[in-house]
Structure 1
Amino acid sequence: MLRHDNSSFFSAMDLRPALMVQHSGNITDPTAFAQVLAKTLDKIATRASNGTGKKFAVEEVIMTSLRRLYTLAQCTPDLTALDCNSCLRAMISNLPKGRKGGRSFTLSCSVRFEEYPFYNAPAPPPSYLPPSPAPTSAAPEIRPKGAKELTAVESLQFDLATIQVATNYFSHENKLGEGGFGEVFQGRLPNGQQVAVKRLSQRSKQGDGEFKNEILLVAKLQHINLVRLLGFCLEGEEKLLVYEFVPNKSLDYFLFDPQKRRQLDWPLRYKIIFGIARGMLYLHEDSRLRIIHRDLKCSNILLDSEINPKISDFGMARIFGVNQTQASTNKIVGTFGYMSPEYAMHGEFSVKSDVYSFGILLLEIICGKKNNLYQDEYLAGYAWNQWRDGTPLKVLDPAIVDSNSRDQVLRCLHICLLCIQEDPAIRPTMTTVVLLLSNNSITPPSPQHPAFFVQMKGLESDQSTRRTMPLSINGVSLTELCPR
């Protein structure tokens, strides 16, 4: 492509004019084809926008023994990741429906699909085969019983002496923070790389199984918006996880401090929101596994040097089967205030329970407050009442509201209220959330009343918990309210 203009167009996203070219032939199975096409285009749009250097991705899918699908997504390399993603999503929505091939493009990006190769494939294509049956009654959980289960990640193992030297023997000066799992220390490996070392406390709520779960799980996940596991140490009484060092601490460090939250203007908060949404979409749809995080909250969002969010702490995560949509447990783990009602009360969890947690997290970013009691009601209920009464600006953090950001902030509040609705079935998926965040031309549906917030006596909304159901008759009781 060649382009010239009388004004600078570098790093500027252009969505007009948008052009479309379509194949003359019709697809014989449009519904099944559209599902495969949508999933594939979503995957390459994410890869292309996250790429460094050339913002380019292709994917080849084997539909049958005689039929293949070829797809391509590309942005001009001067675009930011956010603009590239927005441009590609807009062009995907502009593609022809029910055709054997088509192309949609603008001056900034292009997407194309065909049933014949129109590029040089860099590697053999993955097979698109029917998934093997998976049990739906319960989610398979990684429960390693010994050292054999760690052989797959032996290359990630550090010896204790290396970690002790790296952290100056876990000195107070190197301590970054502390949580229910134990302490976190900053360290420097012999090659000079800075790391964060999570030291599992012997009094920790996270046991050996959860420790090994996090190792085996996070080692398989690679995404710009997930914290990267570098290794582990399991020696004597010590259980250590070694992560990439993320210099700007966690989101709650800034968001809930009256002074520090002023550093997070709306463009930065929107960048954080969009990054978290992309990371959750990867966990739910785009990774080799389907991961339910189960403890998404502000303190588990780390910020790197460029304020890119990175989802952390996978000790409570669960893996779902390919066709599995829901599971239940009698061990409730997570954080009150972020927990969906169906999970807190019945132990039922799914991707939609993560969506609920994302909605609460989004609300806190917009309001600059925790989902605790606020003017005699919890923040989520207060936000809903103001939205219903036509006064949503009352809940917004004054530091982020101006004439340039108001519409986008209110749109994010709208998305938040969709995510925290009572009925999990009508909450959006993370695919829909990312689409709504990246495409302002799509009008979100009207939200319904959010779920009642479940508060446990003696616990603040941001305290983690582990409990087993059913509750003791002498303990706290949970009441479900049903209208007559």
Structure 2
Amino acid sequence: GNESTTLESLQFDFAKIEAATNRFAAENRIGKGGFGEVYKGILSDGQEIAVKRLTRSSVQGAVEFKNEVQVIAKLQHRNLVRLLGFCLEDEEKILIYDGYISPEYAMHGYFSVKSDVYSFGIMVLEIISGKRKGCSSELERVDDIRRYAWTKWADQTPLELMDPNIEGSYSQEEVIKYIHIGLLCVQENPDDRPTMATIAFYLNSPSINLPSPLEPPYFKRSGIEENMVSNNALDSNSISDSINGLSVTKFFPR
């Protein structure tokens, strides 16, 4: 009946998931737990996804797994992480989520208001960069928005994140502030993220010293670049007061 139709519409081919994650490449792995591993991926239509691959030794059988998928699909709320589907082939048991998934939900199934804050931060960074889901771009092929935004921030070139199509039609100072807020929202540890009330306060305060965003845990650079970042961009004594001639004293941590 209806239930089997719903399940069929949620089923993904393993080959499609393998292609989306570049055969579960190590650089696409964003988390690991007792249940298995979580990877980021991009579907052929450009949609970003989070792929939760359960360990083969998982005691959960195929029927139980399908039942769980059905329950998750029925309980979905517009503010919650969206389950796009599942894959059940041979020994593989995989859940596919919308790409806005927060690390703690992907790895442990924990969901809180701070998970919504994470999604909000990703959305802010995507809007600023013009790199939305479904559009083919260098960013989506190479990396994810969080790492890309952090790179620009650490290199003291946050305005390079901006969508070139709207260049000149915005306040540079405001944009740097929004990027800063976005990076605070997507920090790995939920406790480090601001609340939505705090975000509203940040947005409405014309002059405020924001805390420094923390580096994503999976962020990797070459040794030379790493030294440049630690000795330069993240050293409070040597942070430049000017980016493209703009004073950013308010927003860069001191």
- The TM-score, its normalising length taken from structure 2, stands at 0.48
Whose helix proportion is higher, 1 or 2? Answer: 2
Whose strand proportion is higher, 1 or 2? Answer: 1
Larger radius of gyration: 1
* Structure with more contact order per residue of length (Cα contacts < 8 Å, sep ≥ 6): 2
